[in-house]
Amino acid sequence: MNTSNEIKQVTGGRFIAPADPRQSGVIAAIVLIAIGALLLVAQVFQLSWLSLLVLPLLGISFIVWSIAVQNPGLMIPGGILTGLGGGLFLMTRPFVEAAENDLLPVAVLMFGFAAGWVLIVLLTPLAGGRFSPWPLIPGAVFLALGGLFWMGESGLQILQIVGTAWPVVLILVGVGILLNRLRRNRQTAQ
């Protein structure tokens, strides 16, 4: 068997050398040292907000690691942690706390999380992966949730309606799939 041909087939015709395990260990060590130093500085100087940077930095580390070793799978935790961590950091900042809408911090968190999913789509090709739009689906869901929370009480009313109606939508989609399948079976049989 020719291993390089198998690798080319798996990676879409492009040869990608397997990651050096020693390189991954060095990256992990650097990330642990940086996060530990950040947390130590936050404790010593009583900067609690600084500890909120751990998740975004961990996410950025996964993104850098993904690109460095050309492993697109690492981009998924990278985008999720970066978006979630960025949203958590931003939702605690004074401009959010001073807002009239009590749900604004939750909206900011949802927007940050949505941005993390978009990062996966945008950065995966840099890590040797193919462009794949599937992360835009959860990204759109969190973006929509953020928009509803941003709207305040009226957004909560819409969420309540959606929360009541979504089982019916699932049933209708399932029935539609079954009817479509039955129609195809009838056409094939004729």
* Burial of 11 (C-beta count, 10 Å sphere; 0-12/13-18/19+): middle
What pLDDT, on the 0 to 100 scale, is given for residue 43?
Answer: 86
pLDDT for 26 equals 78
> How many percent of the chain have pLDDT more than 90?
47
DSSP state letters, 12-42: TS---PPPPHHHHHHHHHHHHHHHHHHHHHH
* pLDDT confidence bin for 5, thresholds 50/70/90: very low
Segment 90-144, tens digit of pLDDT: 888 765 666 677 888 899 999 999 999 999 999 999 999 999 999 999 999 999 9
State the Cα–Cα distance between residues 121 and 24, nearest whole angstrom: 23
Residues present in the chain in total: 190
Mean pLDDT for 1-9 is: 44
What confidence score (pLDDT) does residue 9 get?
A: 44
The domain spans of the chain are 3-151
State residue 166's pLDDT score: 85
Binned at pLDDT 50, 70 and 90, residue 190 comes out as confident
Give the confidence band of 34 by pLDDT, cuts at 50, 70, 90.
Answer: confident
